[in-house]
Structure 1
Amino acid sequence: MFDFIRTHQRLMQLILLVLILPSFVLIGVSGYTNYVSGDQDLVKVGDSAVTLQDFDQARRNQLQQLQQSSQGGFDPSVLDNREARSALLESLVDRRLLVNTATKERFSVSDAVLRQTISSMPQLQENGQFSPARYNQVLASVGLTTRDFEQGQRAELALDRVLGPVALTSSIPPSVVGLVGKSLTEERSLRLLAFPAEDYEKDVTVSEDDIKAWYEQNKQTLELPEQVNAQYVLLNEAAAMANLPAISEEDLRRYYEQNKSRYVQAPRVDVSHIQISVAATASDEERKKALAKAEEIAAKVKAEPASFAEVAKAESQDAGTAKDGGRLGWITKGSWPANLDQIIFSLGKGDVSGVVDGPGGFHIFHANDVQAEQGESFEQARSKVEAEVRRQLGADRYADMASKLTGLVYDNPASLQPAADALGLKIKSAAGIARDRLLSSDQVPANAASAGEDAAILDDVRVRRALFSTQTLADKQNSGVIEISPDTMIALRVEKLIPAHVPELAQVSDHIRKLLVQERALAASRKAGEEALAGFRKAAADEVPEKFGSVLTISRMNPQGLNKSITDAALAVEDDKFPQYLGISVPQGYVVLRVEGGKAGDLDEPMRETLSAQLAQAWGKAEEQAVLREMKVQAKVTMLPEAEEALSGEKAE
């Protein structure tokens, strides 16, 4: 509801922290004493430090977590930039400071608080209740013991006690909530008349002299950075799958039979039972008595199968299923002992078995429903089977090729050709790779890396860093093999180094022409809009000029998708000055507004409570940050020169 507030809070660092820190918890990094100084300090925090080892480990955790959450669609370059590295290092410093404070002040939490916190975690619940089975399953899936997880959670809760009380005690005066609420809900009714710049482009003429003049005056802005043209070999799933040998029909059938459960569902029965329990130590007389009772019940339900569930509720001594009418659910053939399996799967739908001597006593079974074997025959599933076999063969071949690629690249440092020939890979080339980015196709005459199918890979910071390393740039050797993802590897070499330069006029002529056309079309749209605005202001105020759109009602909470400058201008019009015409320049051209009316803001009680809570939360976060800044001053947090290298990406992981 209050998107306006959220979009105006500078909380990106906090959001990044929230994304990163849970992974620390899951590997046990969050304990008080788990921080061990590495060989190289980056930031001094009191008597301790954030080390390069801490920073590199956090980056790996961050990358791994985001790769998993994006299901293979994650671009590593999103995190390999100075802004992301700075935010990560800042979060590590903040955390180290909290750990130091919590340790020094001996903050701790009770077992009761720990149990309550863990039991309230949604991912550990089933049907809204804490599930021990789910708890063990989740921990097993990430390779954690309950002891490690609970120690990590206890440490997290203790850390929360450093700044938590600051946020919890923050509050916003009702008068402030009221003023903010009125500002957010204040409304204006307006109509728009747009003058898009693109409508004027057809009338713009740009001469060669115009282009040359602009080039002479602004050519330094066109300077291209140092760049390389590179050769590379790419090993990925497609390369591994290429030229796989044909798969015989016999091998396909064998795979189908070995994995038949993936294509065919075995017969199954939805079964219920009535159990008359017999203890393992029961006497013969007790067993006879139990058997007689079971046979009596069996005769009753055989005569009237529809009563099975009611009889089970009343007579079954299996407390776990009796309340559900004895229902055990779907049983797949082969999942029970052979003697029981044979009896269960001899029943038709609605049939009741005789008395069966089984685990825990005597049983009477009822088949609620029966499903025969169903699924795809080999002929029906053949294309799927072949695709799966090919994928497995491709994965095996990829692993073999990856192992060989590394050796071939290192054994032949002056050329990628031996590796390409041995593995059947194609040597590709790409131009316009700078240290910090791929140059656009407008800036590169031909074969621009940014326009190729491998652009995302070539723009990976590890690739660009390798191309500008001493090994490849000065020594003219192959780069090492770079693993972009578990199924993509690349090796490169520099084909040509191009120093920083200003391109020739002919190369950038089209680019300059576009800029001039856009600039002049924008000026023409502004001129047309201003002339129209002057005419509207002279006309009768109560008449709506032609071409204006329908009435829009906007507020700061609901700007109707309008540009912020338009919203701000409309809401700045005072209540007693309607209608009023305004003109606004926007990136797409010029817009004339006719502001026709307005309404003072007002909050209902639910909105007021929500807004109050959100403002208090935002203010609490601001107070937390203020306290944290003062803690940094007192702890004499100092950024060391080595940190600059890490932030620039020059430190090797």
Structure 2
Amino acid sequence: MFEIIRKNQRVMQLVLLVLILPSFVLIGVSGYSSYVSGDSDIVKVGDSAITSQEFDRARRMQLDEMQRTNPSGFDLAQADSVESRRLLLESLVDQRVQIEVATAARFNVSDIALRDNIATMPEFQENGTFSPALYSQVLASAGINTRDFEQSQRGQLALQRVLGPVAASTSMLPSVMNKLEIALTEERGVRTRNFLARDFEATVQISDADLQAWYDANKQSLELPEQVKVEYLLLNEAAASTNLATPTEDQLKQYYEQNKARYVQPGRVNISHILVTLPAGASDSEREAAQAKARELAEKAQANKAGFADLARDNSQDEGSAREGGELGWISKGSWPSVLESAVFALAKGDVSGVIEGPNGFHIFKSNEVQPEQGESFEQARSKVQDEVRKQLASERFADMASKLTNLVYDNEDNLEAAANALGLNVQQAEGITRQGLIPASQVDGELAAAKSPEAAVLDDSRVRQALFNPETLASRKNAGVIEVSPDTLIALRVVDVKAAHVPSLDKVRTIAQENLRREKTVAMAVQAGEEYLKQLSEGATPEGFSAQFAVSRAEFPEMDEALLNKVLANPVDKLPAYVGDRQPQGYTVVQILSHEPGKAGNPGLEMLTAQLNQAMARTETQAVLQAMRVEEKVQFLPEAEKELTASGDSE
């Protein structure tokens, strides 16, 4: 089931539209207006409204979907920020506007159009053709029936009729594209000289007064966000293995025997055969005739073992192996019916058997090669077996401890000591954990910096931070629950202290301040040197230290940022060489302009640009029409909308 879902992610997204945002599923477009009701309206759209309950449901489902698609976690503060909520509400409004327009215009989709659309989805196709069986299987795996899916698709297709024609009819004029291509392909032949900040590091001097002044001027950039100090219990493989009982000799031997195939390769034999088939329901006379023929062939094979292959080609009724001289290849113990297996494994290399009756008739076997059982005895594999048994016992103990941990943490919500004492775990502490991540250890008072803890990666997991900064957890100081960071790692936490956002003292951020101030000073020195050199060039100085010549255009500009490129392309070319310069992140760059090449239209390399610009224009036109529809539908954001956007960011 899960493999089907993995291979059909696009369909699953469509299915999720049904499951996550049911208010968008048009069970007949015209019936939508009466579908939603609520006491607290936050946005008026025509004769309907988006309610706080509807928005809250969509927000929660969106967060659930983000959690599902990001099993390693995501940043809740960002995912449920005011801006993210605003985007979600805007999308709800846009969807509702389209629904109102589709309802008023009585847009609908025929059964034929619906079938054609579904048939084109690659997720439902086998070898390029729609497969009804695959269609049913994929939807069944997602837990949704075909009727609901088809109704949701009908609704989506109806909505596409609202704005779809706008996008489909939008394109760039050829004359405009020609002018764009000419502008994009216009070239300048240039050389550059860089004045890099790193070249001035040796000359920079930073006094205490300079450092204090920089700190006073840049305090806001150094502010540390709200952070928490936590207690936690970590349950992982190491914890589950602590004080684990040594496996007994009987346990080791039992494990070895149960998993012997991992240590020992069973004996095998390479064989050929001659088959005389016995038809189903054969009479006694037919049976006797087949057996007599088999005896005759067995006698010939035993008399001339070297000619077995030729005998098999001429007489074996197993057509597949007969062409290969009767060869069947390697047969391992335990893979054949016991009556046949006993016979072939009793043969020495080169021996030919008598007549052996099997399920399909009478066989004559020849042993081409024999390979005895190979591998490690119990004593030879003892250390491996012991390690694997310990891992198995630790795994079983981990599962038991995980279940108990969850119960104990929730039964004793005010502390972790009860769970720690019952399970033999240690209550540990860490601080310097923020909503966004871990604060550098150098900026955390004491020795409990989470950033330098062996469990730093676990404590920095977004799901852990999400649980710690849940408003209820912060306020109550109760256990934040048990978080599964990975299949073999669980962590239980509680907040024991909260430190408000603050600016650390200069001593705490001296290294950071020094690095920033040094960078600013070296960049300033590089800029000054570059500007002075540019001035010298304008006064007639001989150009020195420039790179080899290369071409730049608006389409291709290696080693040059946009601001500097604009200066190069805007500079007059009536008198060359010319010089321009601009500040860069690493210092300052002076450009010598040596040549000019006009742009040309019809450049094959810009074909993709046409498609991109058409898409961009289609989006712009679509948004413009949508905004006009909003006006027509008298969209009104009520005061309650802002309250929903700025409400506490919990997702309980």
Q: Establish whether TM, by shorter chain, passes 0.5.
A: yes
Greater mean deviation of Cα atoms: 225-234 or 58-67: 225-234
Give a deviation string over 1:478-522, Cα, whole Å, max 9, x none.
Answer: 434444555444333444343444444443444433332222221
Q: Distance in 2 between matches of 1:351 and 1:177?
A: 83
1:205: which partner in 2? 205
1:5: which partner in 2? none
TM-fit CA distance, 1:617 = 3.2
* SS of 2:189 mapped into structure 1: strand
Distance 1:230 1:348, change over 3 A: same
Asked whether the equivalents of residues 181 and 601 of structure 1 are also in contact (C-alpha less than 8 Å), the reply is yes
Greater mean deviation of Cα atoms: 267-276 or 475-484: 267-276
Greater mean deviation of Cα atoms: 74-83 or 517-526: 74-83
**2:123 aligns with one of 111, 121, 124:** 121
Q: Distance in 2 between matches of 1:105 and 1:348?
A: 81
* SS of 2:589 mapped into structure 1: strand
**1:25 aligns with one of 15, 19, 22:** 15
Greater mean deviation of Cα atoms: 604-613 or 55-64: 604-613
Q: Distance in 2 between matches of 1:644 and 1:387?
A: 59
Superposed counterparts of 1:67-86, under 5 Å:
67=71, 73-75=72-74, 77=76, 80-82=79-81
2:565: which partner in 1? 567
Distance 1:114 1:472, change over 3 A: closer
2:519: which partner in 1? 518
Asked whether the equivalents of residues 434 and 465 of structure 2 are also in contact (C-alpha less than 8 Å), the reply is yes
The alignment yields a C-alpha RMSD, in angstroms, of: 5.7
1:59: which partner in 2? 63
TM-fit CA distance, 1:379 = 7.5
Asked whether the equivalents of residues 274 and 317 of structure 1 are also in contact (C-alpha less than 8 Å), the reply is no
Q: Distance in 1 between matches of 2:611 and 2:353?
A: 63
* SS of 2:618 mapped into structure 1: helix
Q: Distance in 1 between matches of 2:217 and 2:76?
A: 35
Distance 1:591 1:138, change over 3 A: farther
2:107: which partner in 1? 105
Give a deviation string over 1:70-112, Cα, whole Å, max 9, x none.
Answer: xxx5555586452555555655665666677778633355375
Give, as a single letter, the amino acid of the residue that structure 2 aligns with 1:25: V
Q: Distance in 2 between matches of 1:188 and 1:649?
A: 55
* SS of 1:206 mapped into structure 2: coil
TM-fit CA distance, 1:207 = 1.9
The structure with the largest alpha-carbon Rg is 2
TM-fit CA distance, 1:623 = 3.6
Q: Distance in 1 between matches of 2:274 and 2:79?
A: 63
Percent identical among aligned pairs is 40
Superposed counterparts of 1:150-549, under 5 Å:
152=149, 155-156=152-153, 159-160=156-157, 162-163=159-160, 165-166=164-165, 167-219=167-219, 222-248=222-248, 250-259=250-259, 389-434=389-434, 438-441=438-441, 443-446=443-446, 447-459=448-460, 463-464=464-465, 467=468, 473-484=474-485, 486-539=487-540, 545-546=544-545, 548-549=546-547
Asked whether the equivalents of residues 67 and 74 of structure 2 are also in contact (C-alpha less than 8 Å), the reply is no
Q: Distance in 2 between matches of 1:20 and 1:647?
A: 33
**1:550 aligns with one of 548, 551, 573:** 548
TM-fit CA distance, 1:250 = 4.6
TM-fit CA distance, 1:569 = 3.3
Give, as a single letter, the amino acid of the residue that structure 2 aligns with 1:512: A
TM-fit CA distance, 1:203 = 1.8
Asked whether the equivalents of residues 42 and 52 of structure 1 are also in contact (C-alpha less than 8 Å), the reply is no
Superposed counterparts of 1:128-139, under 5 Å:
128-129=127-128, 135=134, 139=138
Asked whether the equivalents of residues 108 and 154 of structure 1 are also in contact (C-alpha less than 8 Å), the reply is no
Greater mean deviation of Cα atoms: 362-371 or 89-98: 362-371
Q: Which consecutive unaligned segments of at least 5 residues does structure 2 have?
A: 1-7, 301-305
Give a deviation string over 1:593-614, Cα, whole Å, max 9, x none.
Answer: 2233343444667545443333
Give a deviation string over 1:272-328, Cα, whole Å, max 9, x none.
Answer: 999999997999999999999999x999xx98969999999xx9999xx99xxx999
* SS of 1:25 mapped into structure 2: helix
* SS of 1:596 mapped into structure 2: strand
Asked whether the equivalents of residues 263 and 381 of structure 2 are also in contact (C-alpha less than 8 Å), the reply is yes
Give a deviation string over 1:352-374, Cα, whole Å, max 9, x none.
Answer: 99999999999999999999988
Q: Distance in 1 between matches of 2:309 and 2:264?
A: 31
* SS of 1:534 mapped into structure 2: helix
Q: Distance in 2 between matches of 1:413 and 1:222?
A: 36
Give a deviation string over 1:214-272, Cα, whole Å, max 9, x none.
Answer: 44455455454544333322334443344433344653454454345667777899999
TM-fit CA distance, 1:585 = 0.8
Q: Distance in 1 between matches of 2:406 and 2:206?
A: 54
* SS of 1:105 mapped into structure 2: coil
1:586: which partner in 2? 584
Give, as a single letter, the amino acid of the residue that structure 1 aligns with 2:527: R
1:615: which partner in 2? 613
Distance 1:437 1:515, change over 3 A: same
Distance 1:504 1:43, change over 3 A: same
Asked whether the equivalents of residues 41 and 52 of structure 1 are also in contact (C-alpha less than 8 Å), the reply is no
Q: Distance in 1 between matches of 2:350 and 2:182?
A: 67
* SS of 1:507 mapped into structure 2: coil
TM-fit CA distance, 1:531 = 1.5
* SS of 2:593 mapped into structure 1: strand
Q: Distance in 2 between matches of 1:351 and 1:598?
A: 88
TM-fit CA distance, 1:25 = 1.6
Distance 1:144 1:432, change over 3 A: closer
Q: Distance in 1 between matches of 2:346 and 2:504?
A: 84
**What count of residue pairs does the alignment treat as equivalent?**
618
Asked whether the equivalents of residues 185 and 601 of structure 1 are also in contact (C-alpha less than 8 Å), the reply is yes
Q: Distance in 2 between matches of 1:517 and 1:632?
A: 53
